[in-house]
Amino acid sequence: MVFRELSLPVRLLFYLFLVVAAISILYPLTWMSFTSLKTNEEVMLSPFGLPTRISFENIAEAWQTGNFTRLYTNSILIAVVSVIGIIAISTTAAYGLARYHFTANRPLFLYFLVGMAVPTQALMVPSFKLMAILDSWASALHLPIPLLNSPLAVILTYMSWSSLAIIFIRAYFMSIPPELEDAARVDGARELQILRHVMVPLAMPAIATMTIFYFVFFWNDFLWPLIYLHKHTLRTIPLGIMHFEGKYVSLWSLQVAALSLAAWPPIVIYVLFHRRIQRGLTEGALKF
């Protein structure tokens, strides 16, 4: 189908669809941003107008009362550690499964495949209990690894979701011609060097796609921090926003400012890297 060759009414109808969908997305986000840049009086007087002058009053107050410094630190810590961890262990496992012949290879691959079918939300009760048990064992052995009310519990749970990354990166490794490795091997490179200096750079598109995918997922996840983190000092951004809403019900201009503080960074990152992210998504979907 070539767009230019369609009849005019059809083309106009299609443009209408596209524009309506785009407005439905842009309007709420613009309203949120404008509202958080207005003064309180202006929010009350003209809730839907453009801000007459930009004021950071509400943003600053939301940052303070919501303790966004802490929320950001917690979110970044959990997301970054989990993503580095899961990408590292998944890449090595994917390589092992893609390139080495041994009896257990296929059973191991099928074993990792199970994780694709399991909805992790269904595991919340046993996971929570498991952390409680491991925590009591750790304290009985005087090990300084707290797992109750600890970001470590969230990170460990995230790091068990490796199935997708393993299957995805494995498929990419398998599409790389083995001659490249053989050449490096002939040149005297050791197995680990081949992985680090030949295979990982070659598989970068797949690894980058998975990194973006998991980062967005961990960054936005709400359920697992909600399950594990009950102290207000440990809250991640989604948890903090949720509590902020409950606490300042009447001050809705402040609430919207808090929403902006949570929504802007991912939007900015997306705007900056949208080509890379989109390419990763489409290339990634193909490999799958």
Residues 117-156 that bind other proteins (CB under 8 A): 117-130, 156
**Site size toward other proteins, by CB under 8 A:** 110
Q: How far is the CB of 214 from other proteins (least distance, A)?
A: 13
Query: Is position 285 an interface residue for other proteins (rule: CB under 8 A)?
Result: yes
Out of 69, 183, 222, 272, the only residue in the binding site for other proteins (CB under 8 A) is: 222
Structure tokens at 99: 């390139």
H helix intervals, 37-104: 40-45, 57-65, 68-99
Widest pairwise Cα distance in the chain? 75
Chain positions 57 to 96 lying near other proteins, rule: CB under 8 A, are 88-90, 92-93, 95-96
- Under the binding rule (CB under 8 A), the answer on residue 281 touching other proteins is yes
Nearby residues of 154 by Cβ (< 8 Å), 6 or more positions away: 78, 82, 224, 225, 228, 229
Among 16, 143, 204, 288, binds other proteins (CB under 8 A): 288
Which of 161, 207, 235, 254: binder of other proteins (CB under 8 A)?
Answer: 161
Kindly tell me which residue out of 16, 26, 54, 183 binds other proteins, with binding defined by CB under 8 A: 26
List binders of other proteins among 225-264 (CB under 8 A). Answer: 227, 237-239, 241-242, 245, 252, 255-256, 259, 262-263
Residue 6 near other proteins by CB under 8 A: yes
202's tokens: 């070659």
Residues 6+ apart with CB under 8 A from 87: 165, 207, 210, 211, 214
Answer yes or no whether residue 12 interacts with other proteins by CB under 8 A. Answer: no
* 34 part of the interface to other proteins, by CB under 8 A: no
Burial per residue of 216-230, b for 16 or more beta-carbon CB atoms within 10 angstroms, e otherwise: bebbebeebbbbbbe
**Which of 9, 20, 48, 140 contacts other proteins by CB under 8 A?**
48
Phi, psi angles (nearest 5°) of residue 59? -60, -50
Residue span binding other proteins (CB under 8 A) among the ranges 24-32, 65-73, 137-145, 197-205? 24-32
Which of 62, 162, 229, 254 is in the footprint of other proteins by CB under 8 A? Answer: 162
Spatial distance between the Cα atoms of 28 and 25, rounded to a whole number of angstroms: 6
Answer yes or no whether residue 101 interacts with other proteins by CB under 8 A.
Answer: yes
Residues 165-204 binding other proteins (CB under 8 A) are 166-167, 170-171, 174, 178, 181, 191-192, 195
Burial class (CB in 10 A: 0-12, 13-18, 19+), 163: middle
Stretch that binds other proteins, among 50-58, 62-70, 111-119, 137-145 (CB under 8 A): 111-119
4 binds other proteins (CB under 8 A): yes
For the CA atoms of 228, 231, 234, 239, the dihedral, rounded to the nearest 10 degrees, stands at 70
CA distances from 104 to 94, 161, 209, 249 (A): 14, 21, 28, 57
